[in-house]
Structure 1
């Protein structure tokens, strides 16, 4: 027995073709995908004009419709044939014709053909009422000529403008309409990472401790939140309630509603957008409540549903290996980049005991078929002890040849999966408030209670985490991190400790209970020569803001990553930088479609030259900006930072066209004076990031930076990100509020609390290896800041009262 050939293991450099109805968003997604993958975007309209020298309308006018039809299909085929690699190809209306669809079917043997679709009612709004039904019905034929599909979920969220806010007041409506394209961009680029096979690899190489870098099956412990389709179509929880409730979601297709394929595609898109975790796609063999069907009819529907999961590019497809061999073979041949979980379900009384050799044989069959994970689950009525299951897993591990796919094996009963949970990985869990009587595998366990049990069993250890620096007394991190620990079932502590020397830092870090630290000034750059291992990002930036102990028993990074939440002597330390990614997230969320980054034209301005400024510059580079200006009080420091990134960019092959006085490879330039006019030949900045403290630090005066009025004349506005939050309304924020109200409402202000919340979320995930409860952490951060402001106000009142008494 051998694994069937994977017919969809396509060349990752093969051009990606987008097909679908007008209004589905192909052009926008194509543009986003081309920028993300650094590929050339080819559109059907432009290619037709390039080949014929005429627009479509001009060609029809001069040659007639019949000649156009013949020419159009010839150009269509030539477009595919001439752009076989490193392109994103956006197809227009030609893909509705039978001849074009035949060409696409042939092309799909070697290339990804992605069917883009979305809610029918959203597309109908963009079409003539008379044409909508006919066009949408014809659009469904795109499933037959494509091998992948992406559901372009409509973003119905409402965004409010920034209200006028007084000094010392949190800006709850702090952003003026974050771009609705942000979510689509994040979803689609992740989808591209999945179908090209480069997403997880890239995340691992850049930062191996990030949550997305380690698949759930290779983590120390992982949990699969079970969500049934029958529940999701009319669920009684909000999506935000499901956040961080599992390391992945197992979507169980247990219900066949009308328009089934589109309903399932919609739910996959919602899980990706709302939860941001890997998806296990499982088609239940006997859906409850469905009418009786013939074996052939049911097999056909199951096959179509599993094919849909593979087309949607889900992370994992759950495949019952007890089914017909032809059925199993068909799924394995079409797996593409999705991983296959090979299942053996032993249901009902008299289930095969763990000592039976058939379990080993089943594992060997799954291994031979090329399954990426093997899952064996049996119904238990008290006839089996935990030790028997553990002995079976040891037998598989010690006696079978490598490579061995990860094994998930556990007992369950009418009360749910056995607790304490028998499996380390992909344990079935539920939301604590979810009413779902039909799910007998996860009626008891939740991710939080299961993780708490690991500490009670001393498999994991309570640790101490810190924010460390010379001015951390007002830090919001302890409150945010402590709230996240409570939510996740971890008995860790988090403290803010003021220290300013490497010796004092070392005394804290060498403790066996040190879990990790968030570093502020003066450690971000000073710590780097003392670290042997750093992430790609920290090395590029030249600054570290997160320090982690390495406690693995081997030198393998995965071993170290899976030793988080365990105490002991640190073999070494790992440095990472999350400042840049927090800034990047805020920029992406706030930037408008009109200001979408164009590498050769878009301009950014960074104020400051410290560790945060380095992170801001790196964020702009990662966003695609190639014209970055730096202003700092001490020009010498700005020149040093600019030189660092220009040298790094040159080494990476990141260049920009020559403008002004700089050489072609210079992407960072220094603005020595605020009195100078904006440099000629460059667009006015549409992204401004202030990285200077708003309060006095180390005896230096507090920042009082404001933008020169002439530098704010961007006709499309832009984004101002203020990193300081003490006070929240800095001189720059106050200036921009007035400017928005009186001059240009197109500017968006992102305050320091928004940025610090993103930083805390990134740090939590790096230091614990667990998904962060993002909304909770941000809410706690805001409330803590408000309490601090109230306390400071009371102190001022008491101070004034004492002064009056003395007088």
Structure 2
């Protein structure tokens, strides 16, 4: 019955049956690595661990990443992503809330070599530049494993290896932004270049990061009568969203944050007497005019139903290639409203 809360156990049997029907043997293949954003985009470490033990949800993971992370409260974080994603702004927000220093790897490279990356590449060549960047990156990561917020934009293979190694002990967060916002910021005349850059960078960074955060731009939608908030309020919204995100990564009490990450967060979902989950179609969540607040009032958890695969995913690779970005965008929109436990359900067409 709609609107009635039920014990969590009451829905487990149905979910287990659904999971069996949608398991890889039934589908004829394993799509987990091809459709997944970073595991942190789905659940907090506690949530992912509880679901793994329960067996009702199969986490979709990067091939390099284990299921969960247990970070120390003072573990340094590393924000990665392309230029214009908003890494530095988010780093300042995190450093203020957690009383940490910010280290930009580009500035560290300049201080170490006496050249910017662009100047160094022009003088010594791209191969030598990448090798020096990797050396600087490893040195800075080893020296600053605790108490810092680091920022990096390097995508080449040597840098990605360093990121994967660092992610075994520290949060490595991929910062994304909508293509339209990147276009506007970088003032690129050819839109195809921006979208190709986003496609390549997302693929590269997803192989070496443990979490994803979508830095949503607050702009007026053509289909909505709402005006965008003033810049200072927009930044406060971003800060609130990002600090909630960090609160789900670090242990409780890692930094002072007045608003709880999740009502009843101390009580696991499966332990609560009554729960209410709302199911939202992915196609609707991605609409600019979708009123998220209206749809999640009273909910304890959100299930997003992937309804965007119109053809068999085994034959339409174009749809699968777009799915990780769509899932990340959906997570960002939901988390922006409330920090709910999230699950995804996909009914593959036959």
Where on the TM-score scale, by shorter chain, does this alignment land: which range? Answer: 0.5 to 0.7
Out of 303, 306, 314, the residue aligned to residue 253 of structure 1 is: 306
What residue is the counterpart of 2:59 in the other structure? none
C-alpha distance in 2 between matches for 1:68 and 1:212: 50
| C-alpha separation in 2, matches of 1:213 and 1:50 | 44
Distance 1:207 1:44, change over 3 A: closer
Which of the residues 211, 232, 239 maps onto 2:285? 232
Task: Choose between structure 1 and 2 for higher RCO, CA contacts under 8 A separated by at least 6 residues.
Answer: 2
Contact in 2 for aligned 1:229/1:253 (Cα 8 Å): yes
Distance between the aligned counterparts of 2:86 and 2:213, measured in 1? 11
Change (3 A) 1:16 1:277: closer
Which residue matches 1:431? none
**2:234 is the alignment partner of 1:180:** yes
Structure 1: any 5+ residue segments left out of the alignment?
Answer: 159-172, 293-807
Note if contact 2:280-2:303 (Cα within 8 Å) is conserved in structure 1. Answer: yes
- 8 Å Cα contact 1:19/1:113 also seen in 2: yes
1:390-429 to 2 correspondence within 5 Å?
A: none
1:22 aligns with 2:80: no
* Structure 1 residue aligned with 2:92: 31
> Matches of 2:76 and 2:177 in 1, distance apart?
23
| C-alpha contact (below 8 Å) 2:285/2:292 kept by paired residues | no
Aligned CA distance change for structure 1 residues 213 and 207 (closer, same or farther; 3 Å): farther
After superposition, give the CA deviation of every residue in 1:407-438 in whole Å (9 maximum; x if it has no partner). Answer: xxxxxxxxxxxxxxxxxxxxxxxxxxxxxxxx
TM-score (norm 1): 0.30
SS of residue matched to 2:238 = helix
Calculate the aligned-residue CA RMSD, in Å. Answer: 3.5
The C-alpha deviation readout for 1:547-596, integer Å capped at 9, x for no partner, is xxxxxxxxxxxxxxxxxxxxxxxxxxxxxxxxxxxxxxxxxxxxxxxxxx
TM-score, normalization by structure 2: 0.64
Pairing of 1:207-222 with structure 2 (within 5 A): 211=263, 214-215=266-267, 217=269, 221-222=274-275
The 5-angstrom pairing of residues 280-299 of structure 1 reads 280-284=342-346, 287=347, 290-292=348-350
Q: CA deviation at 1:219?
A: 5.3
Please say which structure displays the higher CA radius of gyration: 1
In structure 1, distance between residues paired with 2:173 and 2:85:
12
Distance (Å, rounded) in 2 between the aligned partners of 1:106 and 1:79: 13
C-alpha displacement at 1:115, in angstroms? 1.0
| Alignment partners' CA distance in 2, 1:200 and 1:249 | 26
The structure in which a higher percent of residues are strand is 1
Residue 255 of structure 1: how far off its partner (Å):
4.1
Aligned residues: 266
Name the CA distance, whole Å, in 2 between partners of 1:260 and 1:195: 24
The residue matched to 1:145 in structure 2 has which SS? coil
Distance 1:116 1:74 in 2: 23
- Partner residue, 1:195: 249
Q: Does 1:115 pair with 2:153?
A: no
Q: 2:284 and 2:180 mapped to 1: Cα distance?
A: 23
Give the drift of 1:70. Answer: 3.5
Q: Which residue of 2 aligns with 1:265?
A: 328
Contact 2:77 2:170 in 1 (8 A): yes
Deviation at 1:42, TM superposition (A): 0.9
Distance 2:134 2:83 in 1: 18
What residue in structure 2 maps to residue 466 of structure 1? none
* CA shift digits 1:56-110 (9 cap, x unpaired): 4555576565654432222122122211112111002xx2111111221222222
The match for 2:209 is 146
Match of 2:165 in 1: 106
2:103 is matched with which residue: 29, 42, 49? 42
> Would the aligned equivalents of 2:71 and 2:251 in 1 still touch at CA under 8 Å?
no
Q: How big is the shift at 1:132?
A: 1.9
Distance 1:200 1:246 in 2: 27
In structure 2, list runs of 5 or more residues that go unmatched.
1-51, 56-65, 222-226, 311-318
**Residue 126 (structure 1) shift:** 2.8
Q: Give the aligned partner of residue 197 of structure 2.
A: 135
Rounded to whole Å, the distance in 1 between the matches of 2:210 and 2:197 is 21
1:139 positional shift:
0.6
Cα drift, residue 228 of structure 1:
2.9
Output the CA distance in 2 between the equivalents of 1:11 and 1:200. 9
CA 1:192/1:221 → structure 2, altered by over 3 Å: closer, same or farther?
same
Shift of residue 10, structure 1, vs aligned partner: 3.2
Do 1:251 and 1:279's aligned partners in 2 also have CA atoms closer than 8 Å?
Answer: no
- After superposition, the Cα gap between the structure-2 partners of 1:176 and 1:262, relative to the gap in structure 1 and judged at 3 Å, is closer
In 2, the alpha carbon distance for the partners of 1:200 and 1:44 equals 25
Q: Does 1:10 find its partner at 2:65?
A: no
Match for residue 75 of structure 1? 136
Cα distance in structure 1, aligned partners of 2:341 and 2:256? 19
User: Given the superposition, is the C-alpha separation of residues 270 and 134 from structure 1 closer, same or farther in structure 2, using an over 3 Å criterion?
Assistant: closer
Deviations 1:192-213 (A, max 9, x none): 111113269977xx799x9465
Structure-2 separation of matches of 1:180 and 1:235: 17
